Amino acid sequence: MSKIAWRPQLKMSVTLLVVVLGMLLVFSLALVLSLGLLRDISAQTRATAEEYLPELVRTQQDALKVEKISSYLDAAYRVQNAAEERQYRLLSQVLIHSFMLEQDDYLIAEANNIMFDIRELLSIRHTQRQLQQEMLDILNDAGNGSLDYYRGLLAGLPVQSIREPFISEPLQQLQALLPVEAYGELLYRVRFVVDLNLQLDWLVEDTHQRIEHLSAYLSTDAALKARQITTEVGKDALMVSNYFLILIALLIIFSVVILLSFQRLILSPVQELVHGLHSIENQGGQPITLRRVCFHELDVIRQAIEGYSQLMHRLQQANAELERLSQQDGLTGLANRRSLDQVIDVEVGRALRYHHPLSVLMIDIDHFKLLNDRYGHQIGDESLKALAEVLVGFAQRPGELAARFGGEEFILVLPETTADAAMRIAELLRERCQQIRMLPDGSLNLSVSIGVASFRQGVTDSAALLLRHADQALYKAKAAGRNCCRLYQ
């Protein structure tokens, strides 16, 4: 790594502190100069609120009262109970009397008119109930048992429902059942109630119009007051906005100066550090080296990133070595059992899909335990290494694999190889092993037994079965006297 020239470094914390103090100083000066203006604006806004807001609130409350009076009017018109009518009249009267405290002559006059209409409505309804009771008395005095249905009909019928279309048919039936004089009195009272209902309809409609006019008046008044408040507050808001626009302009100018000043000293180095951190994954064979930065704190980060890069480089090397060791037998250098399982599963799957031939050789060193016991483990290890060197020569094509299966057993995976070709390879391998001299005096040759199994659709269609068949063939070779090859049939 090339030597980097030393440059004096600034403390970023000190620099930022100076910048913050400068900003506070600028804003303090602006605040001191503007306190008088803000005080005037605040006083004007407070005066506006004290003058207009209470009136606006009262107007809104009056509008709500008018809506309640309208609902009480409708309820009083529809109820059938005199006690409930009086209750609604009292509620309306309480609301209407609250208008008397206002200083609005039109509002007071209209409220009195509405109250008069409500009283008139209740008076008419009282008269209707008296007439209804008199009609019941006429039917009771007639003493005719066939009039019970009409008595029940009249007793349960609301007075506001006694109208011409509804009452015409019962009247025609009663004309035949009542004496002429009694029927005439009944007819007079029925028509009186009908006329009063028409009068009530007109009265309720007129009262609703009064209420609508009063609501419109209050809404217009509220809108006018709201507009006045909006105008006054808008003036104050405009003054405040202009003032803050000046402050924002000062802030923008000061911020631009700060950004331009620190662009080269902070932002660019930080981007370079981030880029360096991202490039650690793709650093390749060598750790990364970053340019020294001005601020001490950022330079500490740079050093940490470089240290992390070096650590990652060492970890990658260690992982590569671990990956190699996890796939390789430590003594012979061949693939281990884990690697064998992965490869043979892939090859069996390919043979199943494409119906290609696949053969497996299982090789076992004859009398290996006796060899270890008589000549020592060193000779045993040398025999394993010698067999491994021979197997490597037989696994040169793509997909072929020589692996240590366990102990003195080895596996040779031969894709695209039929059973006959595998037997020829097994014989050649056995002969090659027999040529190996294990002792310096040449008195001991390496002898192996080989079991051969080939993939067959529906018979040997899994890696486990293929290895089991190769093991069974190896067992037959050992049973035949060792130093021979056998094919699983």
Q: Which active-site residues does the annotation give?
A: 408
Asked if 450 and 361 count as a contact pair (C-beta separation under 8 A), the reply is yes
Asked if 200 and 125 count as a contact pair (C-beta separation under 8 A), the reply is yes
Rounded Cα–Cα distance for residues 180 and 176 (Å): 9
